Amino acid sequence: MTTREDGRAVDELRPITITRHWLDHAQGSCLVEFGRTKVLCAASATEGVPRWRKGSGLGWVTAEYAMLPQATHDRSQRESVKGRIGGRTHEISRLVGRSLRAAVDYKALGENTITIDCDVLQADGGTRTAAITGAYVALADAVAHLREKGALAGEPLVQSIAAVSVGIIDGTPMLDLPYVEDVRAETDMNVVMTGEGSFIEIQGTAEGAPFVRSELDALLALAEKGCADLTRLQQEALQA
């Protein structure tokens, strides 16, 4: 079996930690760690929905992803200083929001808005998948908060959501890539799945050579395994 720099098996996640209630103000929050990647996820619930949704009886869930300037090896410039959000940030924010919305029954949420912020404190590969995985836990806590307040009619969480990266390095498909593997990957794929094993989002990119169907199949199998593991860790964290 291929050995990885950190000694993991090709289908093994990095050490995953989910620390709930990391913040005092947000209705739900956690610090999620995929190895050295650390993402602070915070979910705030507010009454009301955006204007275009008012009076519909339906809720709304939105997300923003960002990175602290010193999260990366070399300090990056703040987007607030540049005066504009970069394409990568936009893209990931949209992905996180879309993924979390798949977990939610808007009718049961009622006209409440949940905003989820995923701020990368330290980046070592897989920040978007860690963000989605942690965001689900923060969302679950924010929903629980609304439930306790009696602000909900039914159960807005219809399924859990987790995400993981997979990639092909030197011809070998591998699960949950840290930065050193990510930069070498020929193909890189992020997969978002439900706790029951269906797909929410697949984003696969050939970084080097194009990939063929059999490689795609191998990557999907690894992702299924990884998301199942993450789902279990989310459940444990939420029951703690």
Residues within the annotated binding site for phosphate?
Answer: 88, 126-128
End-to-end CA distance of the chain: 35
How many residues of this chain interact with a copy of itself, rule: CB under 8 A? 65
Q: Does 50 bind a copy of itself (CB under 8 A)?
A: no
To a copy of itself, the closest distance from the beta carbon of 235 in angstroms equals 18
Binding characters for a copy of itself, 153-192, by CB under 8 A (x = yes) = ------x-----------------------------x---
Residue 153 to residue 147: CA distance in whole angstroms: 8
Distances (CA, A) of 68 to 79, 129, 143: 10, 17, 27
Q: Which tokens sit at 139? A: 């969302």
Closer Cβ to a copy of itself, 174 or 193, answer by number: 193
Q: Does 98 bind a copy of itself (CB under 8 A)?
A: yes
Q: Single out the residue of 85, 153, 180, 183 in contact with a copy of itself (rule: CB under 8 A).
A: 85
Q: Does 203 bind a copy of itself (CB under 8 A)?
A: yes
**Cα torsion for 178, 181, 186, 190, to the nearest 10°?**
-10
Closer Cβ to a copy of itself, 64 or 182, answer by number: 64
How many CB atoms sit inside 10 A of residue 74's CB? 6
Phi and psi torsions of 157, nearest 5°: -90, 110
Burial class (CB in 10 A: 0-12, 13-18, 19+), 62: middle
| Residues 76 and 69: beta-carbon distance below 8 Å | yes
Q: Does 225 bind a copy of itself (CB under 8 A)?
A: no
Give the type of residue at 200. Answer: I
Dihedral of alpha carbons 93, 99, 104, 107, sign: positive
To a copy of itself, the closest distance from the beta carbon of 187 in angstroms equals 8
HSE value, Cβ hemisphere, 13 Å, CA-based, for 87: 0
To a copy of itself, the closest distance from the beta carbon of 1 in angstroms equals 25
To a copy of itself, the closest distance from the beta carbon of 118 in angstroms equals 10
| Residues 191 and 227: beta-carbon distance below 8 Å | yes
Residue 116 to residue 43: CA distance in whole angstroms: 4
Closer Cβ to a copy of itself, 86 or 110, answer by number: 86
Binding characters for a copy of itself, 104-143, by CB under 8 A (x = yes) = -----------x-x-x-xx-x-------------------
Name the residues that contact a copy of itself, by CB under 8 A: 23-26, 29, 36, 40, 42, 44, 46, 64, 66, 68-75, 78-91, 93-94, 98, 102, 115, 117, 119, 121-122, 124, 159, 189, 193-194, 196, 198-206, 209-213, 216, 220
